Structure 1
Amino acid sequence: MTPVDSPSDPDQSLQAVLFDMDGTLVETEELWGEAMDELATALGGVFSAEGRQRTVGQSMRVAMQVLYDDLGLVRDDEQLRVDSRWVEERTATLMTSRGMPWRPGARELLVAVRAAGLATALVTTTPRRIAALVIDQIAADLGESPFDLTVCGDEVPARKPDPAPYLQAMVQLGVEPARCLVIEDSLVGVTAGLSSGAAVLGVPSVQPLERLPGLVLRPSLVDITVADLHQLLAERDFAPTT
Protein backbone atom coordinates (compact mmCIF):
# COMPACT_ATOMS: atom_id res chain seq x y z
CA MET A 1 0.00 0.00 0.00
CA THR A 2 1.06 3.59 -0.59
CA PRO A 3 0.43 5.76 2.45
CA VAL A 4 -2.18 8.47 1.92
CA ASP A 5 -3.99 11.00 4.05
CA SER A 6 -7.30 9.94 5.60
CA PRO A 7 -10.44 10.87 3.62
CA SER A 8 -11.49 14.52 3.77
CA ASP A 9 -15.12 13.50 4.36
CA PRO A 10 -15.36 12.70 8.09
CA ASP A 11 -18.42 10.52 7.45
CA GLN A 12 -16.25 8.16 5.40
CA SER A 13 -13.16 8.09 7.62
CA LEU A 14 -11.86 5.16 9.60
CA GLN A 15 -13.16 5.10 13.19
CA ALA A 16 -12.17 1.73 14.59
CA VAL A 17 -9.80 -1.18 14.02
CA LEU A 18 -10.91 -4.59 15.27
CA PHE A 19 -8.18 -7.20 15.74
CA ASP A 20 -8.41 -10.97 15.86
CA MET A 21 -6.03 -12.50 18.42
CA ASP A 22 -4.55 -15.97 17.72
CA GLY A 23 -2.41 -15.91 14.60
CA THR A 24 -3.13 -12.21 13.97
CA LEU A 25 -1.60 -10.40 16.95
CA VAL A 26 0.29 -13.24 18.62
CA GLU A 27 1.97 -16.50 17.60
CA THR A 28 -0.40 -18.87 19.39
CA GLU A 29 -2.02 -20.84 16.56
CA GLU A 30 0.86 -23.31 16.64
CA LEU A 31 0.20 -23.93 20.33
CA TRP A 32 -3.46 -24.75 19.68
CA GLY A 33 -2.28 -27.09 16.95
CA GLU A 34 0.21 -28.80 19.24
CA ALA A 35 -2.46 -29.38 21.87
CA MET A 36 -4.80 -30.88 19.28
CA ASP A 37 -1.99 -33.11 17.97
CA GLU A 38 -1.42 -34.39 21.51
CA LEU A 39 -5.13 -35.13 21.90
CA ALA A 40 -5.16 -36.98 18.57
CA THR A 41 -2.26 -39.14 19.76
CA ALA A 42 -4.08 -39.89 23.01
CA LEU A 43 -7.11 -40.94 20.96
CA GLY A 44 -4.95 -43.33 18.94
CA GLY A 45 -4.48 -41.37 15.73
CA VAL A 46 -2.56 -38.62 13.94
CA PHE A 47 -4.20 -35.29 13.10
CA SER A 48 -3.54 -34.47 9.44
CA ALA A 49 -2.12 -31.12 8.36
CA GLU A 50 -5.21 -30.57 6.20
CA GLY A 51 -7.48 -31.24 9.16
CA ARG A 52 -5.52 -28.88 11.36
CA GLN A 53 -5.80 -26.08 8.78
CA ARG A 54 -9.57 -26.49 8.76
CA THR A 55 -9.73 -25.84 12.51
CA VAL A 56 -8.02 -22.43 12.38
CA GLY A 57 -10.28 -19.74 13.81
CA GLN A 58 -13.11 -22.18 14.51
CA SER A 59 -15.01 -22.65 17.75
CA MET A 60 -13.77 -25.53 19.88
CA ARG A 61 -16.89 -27.57 19.12
CA VAL A 62 -16.32 -27.28 15.38
CA ALA A 63 -12.58 -27.91 15.75
CA MET A 64 -13.21 -31.06 17.77
CA GLN A 65 -15.63 -32.38 15.16
CA VAL A 66 -13.03 -31.76 12.45
CA LEU A 67 -10.50 -33.72 14.50
CA TYR A 68 -12.91 -36.61 15.12
CA ASP A 69 -13.81 -36.80 11.42
CA ASP A 70 -10.13 -36.71 10.52
CA LEU A 71 -9.44 -39.64 12.88
CA GLY A 72 -12.59 -41.52 11.92
CA LEU A 73 -13.97 -41.34 15.46
CA VAL A 74 -17.44 -40.83 16.90
CA ARG A 75 -17.56 -39.09 20.28
CA ASP A 76 -20.66 -38.04 22.23
CA ASP A 77 -21.34 -34.56 23.60
CA GLU A 78 -19.84 -35.32 27.01
CA GLN A 79 -16.64 -36.67 25.46
CA LEU A 80 -16.48 -33.60 23.22
CA ARG A 81 -16.85 -31.34 26.25
CA VAL A 82 -14.05 -33.15 28.10
CA ASP A 83 -11.77 -33.14 25.04
CA SER A 84 -12.42 -29.45 24.40
CA ARG A 85 -11.59 -28.53 27.97
CA TRP A 86 -8.40 -30.59 27.81
CA VAL A 87 -7.23 -28.82 24.63
CA GLU A 88 -8.00 -25.40 26.12
CA GLU A 89 -6.14 -26.13 29.35
CA ARG A 90 -3.20 -27.69 27.52
CA THR A 91 -2.97 -24.67 25.25
CA ALA A 92 -3.04 -22.36 28.25
CA THR A 93 -0.17 -24.34 29.78
CA LEU A 94 1.83 -24.06 26.55
CA MET A 95 1.12 -20.31 26.38
CA THR A 96 2.45 -19.86 29.89
CA SER A 97 5.53 -22.03 29.41
CA ARG A 98 6.47 -21.11 25.83
CA GLY A 99 5.38 -17.50 25.70
CA MET A 100 3.22 -15.71 23.15
CA PRO A 101 5.42 -13.64 20.82
CA TRP A 102 3.94 -10.92 18.65
CA ARG A 103 3.19 -11.64 15.01
CA PRO A 104 5.50 -9.62 12.70
CA GLY A 105 4.46 -5.98 12.63
CA ALA A 106 1.49 -6.47 14.97
CA ARG A 107 2.87 -4.61 17.98
CA GLU A 108 3.98 -1.62 15.91
CA LEU A 109 0.63 -1.35 14.11
CA LEU A 110 -1.39 -1.66 17.31
CA VAL A 111 0.66 1.10 18.96
CA ALA A 112 0.26 3.31 15.89
CA VAL A 113 -3.49 2.77 15.75
CA ARG A 114 -3.85 3.79 19.39
CA ALA A 115 -1.61 6.83 18.90
CA ALA A 116 -3.83 7.92 16.00
CA GLY A 117 -6.82 8.05 18.33
CA LEU A 118 -8.77 5.27 16.62
CA ALA A 119 -11.04 3.00 18.63
CA THR A 120 -9.75 -0.55 19.05
CA ALA A 121 -11.25 -3.90 19.92
CA LEU A 122 -9.92 -7.42 20.32
CA VAL A 123 -12.44 -9.93 18.94
CA THR A 124 -11.53 -13.58 19.44
CA THR A 125 -13.20 -16.99 19.40
CA THR A 126 -10.99 -18.03 22.33
CA PRO A 127 -12.85 -18.17 25.68
CA ARG A 128 -12.15 -15.40 28.17
CA ARG A 129 -10.18 -17.48 30.67
CA ILE A 130 -7.63 -18.39 27.96
CA ALA A 131 -7.70 -15.08 26.08
CA ALA A 132 -6.96 -13.27 29.36
CA LEU A 133 -3.43 -14.72 29.27
CA VAL A 134 -2.77 -12.92 25.99
CA ILE A 135 -4.66 -9.76 26.91
CA ASP A 136 -2.71 -9.43 30.17
CA GLN A 137 0.61 -10.05 28.39
CA ILE A 138 -0.14 -7.40 25.76
CA ALA A 139 -1.11 -4.88 28.46
CA ALA A 140 2.08 -5.64 30.41
CA ASP A 141 4.25 -5.25 27.32
CA LEU A 142 2.69 -1.94 26.28
CA GLY A 143 2.26 -0.56 29.80
CA GLU A 144 -1.53 -0.38 29.45
CA SER A 145 -4.32 -2.12 27.62
CA PRO A 146 -4.42 -0.97 23.99
CA PHE A 147 -8.05 -2.06 23.58
CA ASP A 148 -11.19 -0.08 24.27
CA LEU A 149 -13.06 -3.37 24.27
CA THR A 150 -12.36 -7.11 24.28
CA VAL A 151 -14.93 -9.65 23.06
CA CYS A 152 -14.29 -13.36 23.66
CA GLY A 153 -15.87 -16.47 22.24
CA ASP A 154 -17.88 -17.32 25.33
CA GLU A 155 -19.43 -13.83 25.46
CA VAL A 156 -21.31 -13.76 22.15
CA PRO A 157 -24.57 -15.32 20.85
CA ALA A 158 -22.76 -16.90 17.89
CA ARG A 159 -19.11 -17.37 16.99
CA LYS A 160 -17.16 -16.68 13.83
CA PRO A 161 -17.86 -17.13 10.88
CA ASP A 162 -21.08 -15.52 12.12
CA PRO A 163 -20.62 -11.72 12.17
CA ALA A 164 -22.14 -11.49 15.67
CA PRO A 165 -18.83 -11.01 17.54
CA TYR A 166 -17.77 -8.12 15.32
CA LEU A 167 -21.23 -6.57 15.29
CA GLN A 168 -21.36 -6.76 19.08
CA ALA A 169 -17.99 -4.99 19.32
CA MET A 170 -19.12 -2.28 16.89
CA VAL A 171 -22.32 -1.63 18.83
CA GLN A 172 -20.42 -1.38 22.11
CA LEU A 173 -17.86 0.96 20.54
CA GLY A 174 -20.64 3.07 19.00
CA VAL A 175 -19.23 2.86 15.46
CA GLU A 176 -20.75 1.99 12.09
CA PRO A 177 -19.51 -1.15 10.29
CA ALA A 178 -18.72 0.89 7.16
CA ARG A 179 -16.18 2.88 9.17
CA CYS A 180 -14.44 -0.16 10.67
CA LEU A 181 -11.49 -2.27 9.60
CA VAL A 182 -11.15 -5.90 10.71
CA ILE A 183 -7.73 -7.60 10.72
CA GLU A 184 -7.84 -11.41 10.55
CA ASP A 185 -5.73 -14.46 9.70
CA SER A 186 -8.38 -17.18 9.14
CA LEU A 187 -11.17 -17.87 6.66
CA VAL A 188 -13.83 -17.96 9.38
CA GLY A 189 -12.56 -14.65 10.74
CA VAL A 190 -12.44 -13.02 7.32
CA THR A 191 -15.96 -14.28 6.61
CA ALA A 192 -17.22 -12.84 9.90
CA GLY A 193 -15.58 -9.49 9.21
CA LEU A 194 -16.92 -9.21 5.67
CA SER A 195 -20.41 -10.27 6.77
CA SER A 196 -20.40 -7.55 9.42
CA GLY A 197 -20.01 -4.88 6.74
CA ALA A 198 -16.45 -3.91 7.67
CA ALA A 199 -13.42 -3.67 5.43
CA VAL A 200 -11.12 -6.64 6.04
CA LEU A 201 -7.35 -7.02 5.91
CA GLY A 202 -6.30 -10.67 5.79
CA VAL A 203 -2.84 -11.67 7.00
CA PRO A 204 -2.63 -15.49 6.84
CA SER A 205 -0.59 -17.48 9.32
CA VAL A 206 -1.27 -21.25 9.56
CA GLN A 207 -4.16 -21.31 7.07
CA PRO A 208 -3.80 -19.96 3.51
CA LEU A 209 -6.38 -17.36 2.49
CA GLU A 210 -7.89 -17.06 -0.97
CA ARG A 211 -9.00 -13.92 -2.75
CA LEU A 212 -12.52 -12.82 -1.82
CA PRO A 213 -14.55 -9.75 -2.82
CA GLY A 214 -13.81 -6.97 -0.37
CA LEU A 215 -10.76 -8.69 1.15
CA VAL A 216 -7.25 -7.26 0.92
CA LEU A 217 -4.46 -9.77 1.52
CA ARG A 218 -0.99 -8.97 2.83
CA PRO A 219 1.78 -11.41 3.85
CA SER A 220 2.29 -9.66 7.19
CA LEU A 221 1.59 -6.47 9.13
CA VAL A 222 5.19 -5.31 8.79
CA ASP A 223 5.42 -1.67 7.62
CA ILE A 224 1.65 -1.24 7.39
CA THR A 225 0.73 2.24 8.62
CA VAL A 226 -2.44 3.92 9.85
CA ALA A 227 -2.56 5.83 6.57
CA ASP A 228 -2.57 2.46 4.78
CA LEU A 229 -5.57 1.41 6.84
CA HIS A 230 -7.42 4.60 5.87
CA GLN A 231 -6.66 3.86 2.23
CA LEU A 232 -7.84 0.27 2.55
CA LEU A 233 -11.18 1.49 3.91
CA ALA A 234 -11.51 4.05 1.13
CA GLU A 235 -10.91 1.35 -1.50
CA ARG A 236 -13.16 -1.27 0.09
CA ASP A 237 -15.38 -1.51 -2.99
CA PHE A 238 -12.48 -2.15 -5.35
CA ALA A 239 -11.65 -5.64 -6.64
CA PRO A 240 -9.72 -7.83 -4.15
CA THR A 241 -5.96 -7.40 -4.31
CA THR A 242 -2.89 -9.34 -3.24
Structure 2
Amino acid sequence: MSSHQISHVIFDCDGLLLDTESIYSEVIGALCSKYGHTFNWDLKAKQMGRTERESAQVLIDYFQLPITVDDYVAFTEKGYIEHFPSSKLLPGAERLVRHLHAHGVPIAVATGSSEFKYNLKITNHKELFSLFSHIVFASDDPDVRQSKPCPDVFNVCAERFPGEPPSNKSKVLVFEDAPNGVEASYSAGFPCIFIPDPNLKVSEDVKEKATTILSSLEDFIPEQYGLPAYDS
Protein backbone atom coordinates (compact mmCIF):
# COMPACT_ATOMS: atom_id res chain seq x y z
CA MET A 1 0.00 0.00 0.00
CA SER A 2 2.99 2.31 -0.46
CA SER A 3 0.98 4.43 -2.91
CA HIS A 4 -0.64 6.07 0.12
CA GLN A 5 1.70 8.75 1.47
CA ILE A 6 -0.23 9.44 4.65
CA SER A 7 -0.06 12.88 6.29
CA HIS A 8 -2.86 12.63 8.92
CA VAL A 9 -4.40 9.76 10.90
CA ILE A 10 -7.90 9.40 12.38
CA PHE A 11 -8.73 6.66 14.88
CA ASP A 12 -12.05 5.25 15.95
CA CYS A 13 -12.05 4.55 19.69
CA ASP A 14 -14.33 1.72 20.84
CA GLY A 15 -13.03 -1.71 19.90
CA LEU A 16 -10.05 -0.13 18.14
CA LEU A 17 -8.03 1.71 20.78
CA LEU A 18 -9.99 0.65 23.86
CA ASP A 19 -11.47 -2.75 24.69
CA THR A 20 -14.93 -1.37 25.43
CA GLU A 21 -16.99 -3.57 23.13
CA SER A 22 -17.02 -6.34 25.75
CA ILE A 23 -18.48 -3.83 28.22
CA TYR A 24 -21.14 -2.73 25.73
CA SER A 25 -22.02 -6.38 25.14
CA GLU A 26 -22.32 -7.08 28.86
CA VAL A 27 -24.48 -4.06 29.63
CA ILE A 28 -26.73 -4.30 26.57
CA GLY A 29 -26.92 -8.06 27.03
CA ALA A 30 -28.35 -7.51 30.51
CA LEU A 31 -31.06 -5.29 29.03
CA CYS A 32 -31.90 -7.89 26.38
CA SER A 33 -32.07 -10.64 29.02
CA LYS A 34 -34.54 -8.59 31.01
CA TYR A 35 -36.98 -8.95 28.10
CA GLY A 36 -36.16 -12.57 27.29
CA HIS A 37 -33.74 -11.98 24.43
CA THR A 38 -30.07 -12.74 23.79
CA PHE A 39 -27.72 -10.06 22.49
CA ASN A 40 -25.95 -11.36 19.38
CA TRP A 41 -23.26 -10.33 16.92
CA ASP A 42 -25.70 -9.63 14.11
CA LEU A 43 -27.35 -6.97 16.25
CA LYS A 44 -24.04 -5.71 17.62
CA ALA A 45 -22.73 -5.16 14.09
CA LYS A 46 -25.78 -3.02 13.31
CA GLN A 47 -25.15 -0.86 16.39
CA MET A 48 -21.38 -0.41 16.10
CA GLY A 49 -20.26 3.10 15.25
CA ARG A 50 -23.68 4.67 15.66
CA THR A 51 -24.69 7.28 18.22
CA GLU A 52 -26.14 6.04 21.49
CA ARG A 53 -29.71 6.97 20.64
CA GLU A 54 -29.49 5.46 17.17
CA SER A 55 -28.04 2.26 18.67
CA ALA A 56 -30.90 2.19 21.13
CA GLN A 57 -33.49 2.44 18.36
CA VAL A 58 -31.74 -0.31 16.37
CA LEU A 59 -32.04 -2.68 19.33
CA ILE A 60 -35.61 -1.70 20.19
CA ASP A 61 -36.69 -2.30 16.59
CA TYR A 62 -34.72 -5.54 16.30
CA PHE A 63 -36.45 -7.17 19.26
CA GLN A 64 -39.63 -5.06 19.20
CA LEU A 65 -39.02 -4.12 22.84
CA PRO A 66 -41.78 -2.31 24.79
CA ILE A 67 -39.42 0.50 25.86
CA THR A 68 -38.41 3.95 24.67
CA VAL A 69 -34.98 5.20 23.67
CA ASP A 70 -34.86 7.11 26.97
CA ASP A 71 -35.57 3.87 28.86
CA TYR A 72 -32.67 2.21 27.05
CA VAL A 73 -30.31 5.07 27.81
CA ALA A 74 -31.29 5.18 31.49
CA PHE A 75 -30.77 1.42 31.92
CA THR A 76 -27.46 1.18 30.10
CA GLU A 77 -25.93 4.34 31.56
CA LYS A 78 -25.80 2.76 35.03
CA GLY A 79 -23.74 -0.14 33.69
CA TYR A 80 -21.45 2.13 31.71
CA ILE A 81 -20.72 4.34 34.72
CA GLU A 82 -19.78 1.22 36.68
CA HIS A 83 -17.64 -0.54 34.06
CA PHE A 84 -16.18 1.99 31.58
CA PRO A 85 -13.52 3.36 33.98
CA SER A 86 -11.83 -0.07 33.92
CA SER A 87 -11.46 -0.03 30.10
CA LYS A 88 -8.13 -1.38 28.88
CA LEU A 89 -6.08 -0.47 25.80
CA LEU A 90 -6.07 -2.94 22.94
CA PRO A 91 -2.79 -4.50 21.73
CA GLY A 92 -0.67 -2.13 19.67
CA ALA A 93 -2.74 0.97 20.43
CA GLU A 94 -0.38 2.73 22.80
CA ARG A 95 2.73 2.01 20.74
CA LEU A 96 1.19 3.34 17.52
CA VAL A 97 -0.34 6.46 19.07
CA ARG A 98 2.89 7.40 20.85
CA HIS A 99 4.96 6.65 17.74
CA LEU A 100 2.88 8.86 15.45
CA HIS A 101 2.76 11.68 17.99
CA ALA A 102 6.53 11.51 18.58
CA HIS A 103 7.13 11.87 14.85
CA GLY A 104 4.80 14.83 14.47
CA VAL A 105 2.05 13.04 12.55
CA PRO A 106 -1.28 14.79 13.26
CA ILE A 107 -3.66 12.32 14.96
CA ALA A 108 -7.28 12.62 16.06
CA VAL A 109 -10.23 10.49 17.20
CA ALA A 110 -13.65 10.28 15.52
CA THR A 111 -16.08 8.32 17.69
CA GLY A 112 -19.79 7.66 17.83
CA SER A 113 -19.57 8.00 21.60
CA SER A 114 -20.71 10.92 23.72
CA GLU A 115 -18.11 13.00 25.53
CA PHE A 116 -19.48 11.83 28.89
CA LYS A 117 -18.96 8.14 28.07
CA TYR A 118 -15.60 8.82 26.43
CA ASN A 119 -14.32 10.48 29.58
CA LEU A 120 -15.34 7.44 31.61
CA LYS A 121 -13.50 5.13 29.20
CA ILE A 122 -10.22 7.03 29.30
CA THR A 123 -10.17 7.27 33.12
CA ASN A 124 -6.86 5.39 33.32
CA HIS A 125 -5.47 6.59 29.97
CA LYS A 126 -5.82 10.37 30.07
CA GLU A 127 -2.17 11.12 29.32
CA LEU A 128 -2.16 8.93 26.22
CA PHE A 129 -5.39 10.41 24.88
CA SER A 130 -4.08 13.92 25.49
CA LEU A 131 -1.72 13.28 22.57
CA PHE A 132 -4.58 13.55 20.06
CA SER A 133 -5.03 17.00 18.56
CA HIS A 134 -8.82 16.75 18.89
CA ILE A 135 -11.73 14.36 19.47
CA VAL A 136 -15.01 14.43 17.56
CA PHE A 137 -18.02 12.97 19.40
CA ALA A 138 -20.74 12.05 16.92
CA SER A 139 -23.34 11.74 19.69
CA ASP A 140 -22.81 15.35 20.84
CA ASP A 141 -21.39 17.34 17.95
CA PRO A 142 -23.89 19.57 16.10
CA ASP A 143 -21.69 19.51 12.99
CA VAL A 144 -22.06 15.71 12.76
CA ARG A 145 -25.55 15.55 11.34
CA GLN A 146 -25.57 11.82 10.62
CA SER A 147 -23.53 9.12 12.33
CA LYS A 148 -21.60 6.27 10.74
CA PRO A 149 -22.11 4.76 8.15
CA CYS A 150 -22.54 8.33 6.85
CA PRO A 151 -19.20 10.14 6.37
CA ASP A 152 -19.96 13.21 8.51
CA VAL A 153 -17.82 12.36 11.56
CA PHE A 154 -14.69 11.72 9.49
CA ASN A 155 -15.18 14.81 7.32
CA VAL A 156 -15.64 17.00 10.41
CA CYS A 157 -12.64 15.42 12.10
CA ALA A 158 -10.39 15.98 9.07
CA GLU A 159 -11.48 19.61 8.79
CA ARG A 160 -10.51 20.29 12.40
CA PHE A 161 -6.85 19.35 12.20
CA PRO A 162 -4.79 22.36 13.33
CA GLY A 163 -3.42 24.56 10.58
CA GLU A 164 -4.35 23.78 7.01
CA PRO A 165 -6.87 20.91 6.77
CA PRO A 166 -5.63 17.96 4.67
CA SER A 167 -5.91 18.96 1.01
CA ASN A 168 -5.95 15.39 -0.30
CA LYS A 169 -8.30 12.84 1.26
CA SER A 170 -6.13 9.96 0.09
CA LYS A 171 -3.50 11.17 2.58
CA VAL A 172 -5.81 10.81 5.61
CA LEU A 173 -5.73 7.29 7.02
CA VAL A 174 -8.63 6.00 9.12
CA PHE A 175 -8.45 3.08 11.56
CA GLU A 176 -11.75 1.28 12.19
CA ASP A 177 -13.09 -1.90 13.75
CA ALA A 178 -16.73 -1.64 12.63
CA PRO A 179 -18.36 -2.18 9.23
CA ASN A 180 -20.30 1.06 9.70
CA GLY A 181 -16.99 2.84 10.16
CA VAL A 182 -15.50 1.32 7.02
CA GLU A 183 -18.60 2.44 5.09
CA ALA A 184 -18.25 5.95 6.53
CA SER A 185 -14.56 6.17 5.68
CA TYR A 186 -15.15 4.89 2.16
CA SER A 187 -17.98 7.39 1.61
CA ALA A 188 -15.72 10.19 2.84
CA GLY A 189 -12.96 9.11 0.45
CA PHE A 190 -10.36 8.21 3.10
CA PRO A 191 -8.29 5.00 2.96
CA CYS A 192 -9.18 2.71 5.87
CA ILE A 193 -7.37 0.08 7.92
CA PHE A 194 -10.07 -2.34 9.08
CA ILE A 195 -9.44 -4.37 12.23
CA PRO A 196 -12.64 -6.35 12.84
CA ASP A 197 -13.37 -8.48 15.87
CA PRO A 198 -12.90 -12.15 14.89
CA ASN A 199 -16.53 -12.81 15.93
CA LEU A 200 -17.82 -10.29 13.42
CA LYS A 201 -19.29 -11.56 10.16
CA VAL A 202 -18.10 -9.09 7.55
CA SER A 203 -19.74 -8.82 4.13
CA GLU A 204 -17.64 -8.99 0.98
CA ASP A 205 -18.83 -5.48 0.12
CA VAL A 206 -17.35 -4.06 3.33
CA LYS A 207 -14.11 -6.01 2.85
CA GLU A 208 -13.75 -4.50 -0.62
CA LYS A 209 -14.21 -0.98 0.74
CA ALA A 210 -11.43 -1.40 3.29
CA THR A 211 -7.93 -0.54 2.09
CA THR A 212 -6.36 -3.22 4.29
CA ILE A 213 -7.73 -5.74 6.79
CA LEU A 214 -5.58 -6.59 9.81
CA SER A 215 -6.14 -8.73 12.88
CA SER A 216 -4.58 -6.22 15.29
CA LEU A 217 -3.00 -2.77 15.46
CA GLU A 218 0.19 -4.69 16.22
CA ASP A 219 0.22 -5.84 12.59
CA PHE A 220 0.25 -2.31 11.14
CA ILE A 221 3.50 -1.42 9.34
CA PRO A 222 3.75 2.40 9.24
CA GLU A 223 6.33 2.66 6.45
CA GLN A 224 3.95 0.91 4.04
CA TYR A 225 1.90 4.11 4.19
CA GLY A 226 4.72 6.60 3.98
CA LEU A 227 4.80 7.02 7.77
CA PRO A 228 7.96 6.83 9.91
CA ALA A 229 9.01 3.28 10.73
CA TYR A 230 9.06 2.01 14.29
CA ASP A 231 12.43 2.12 15.97
CA SER A 232 13.89 -1.38 16.07
TM-score, normalised to structure 1, is 0.80
Distance in 2 (CA, whole Å) between partners of 1:215 and 1:180 is: 12
Does the C-alpha gap of structure 1 residues 172 and 18 become closer, same or farther in structure 2, counting only changes over 3 Å?
same
Distance in 1 (CA, whole Å) between partners of 2:135 and 2:123 is: 12
Please give the per-residue CA displacement for 1:81-114, whole angstroms capped at 9, x wherever unaligned: 2212432342232112xx1111111111111111
Compare 17-26 and 58-67 and name the one that shifted more: 58-67
* Structure 1 equivalent of residue 166 of structure 2: 175
Distance in 1 (CA, whole Å) between partners of 2:211 and 2:184 is: 12
* Deviation at residue 25 of structure 1 after TM alignment: 0.3
Is this contact kept in 2: 1:56–1:207, CA < 8 A? Answer: no
User: Which ranges in structure 2 are unaligned for 5 or more consecutive residues?
Assistant: 228-232
* Structure 1 equivalent of residue 218 of structure 2: 222
* Structure 1 equivalent of residue 82 of structure 2: 93
Compare 44-53 and 154-163 and name the one that shifted more: 44-53
* Structure 2 equivalent of residue 207 of structure 1: 200
Q: How does 1:52-131 map to 2 (within 5 A)?
A: 52-75=44-67, 79-96=68-85, 99-131=86-118
Aligned residues: 216
What is the RMSD computed on CA atoms of the aligned residues?
2.3
Amino acid at match of 1:50: D
Amino acid at match of 2:156: Q
Distance in 2 (CA, whole Å) between partners of 1:68 and 1:38 is: 14
Distance in 2 (CA, whole Å) between partners of 1:103 and 1:197 is: 26
Amino acid at match of 2:33: T
Percent identical across equivalent pairs? 25
Does the C-alpha gap of structure 1 residues 192 and 85 become closer, same or farther in structure 2, counting only changes over 3 Å?
farther
Is this contact kept in 2: 1:46–1:71, CA < 8 A? Answer: no
SS in 1 for 2:10: strand
User: Which ranges in structure 1 are unaligned for 5 or more consecutive residues?
Assistant: 232-242
Does the C-alpha gap of structure 1 residues 89 and 207 become closer, same or farther in structure 2, counting only changes over 3 Å?
farther
SS in 2 for 1:212: helix
Is this contact kept in 1: 2:25–2:39, CA < 8 A? Answer: no
TM-score, normalised to structure 2, is 0.83
Correspondence 1:147 to 2:170? no
Distance in 1 (CA, whole Å) between partners of 2:41 and 2:194 is: 21
Amino acid at match of 1:199: P
Compare 35-44 and 128-137 and name the one that shifted more: 128-137
Is this contact kept in 2: 1:47–1:67, CA < 8 A? Answer: no
Distance in 1 (CA, whole Å) between partners of 2:119 and 2:225 is: 27
Amino acid at match of 2:145: P
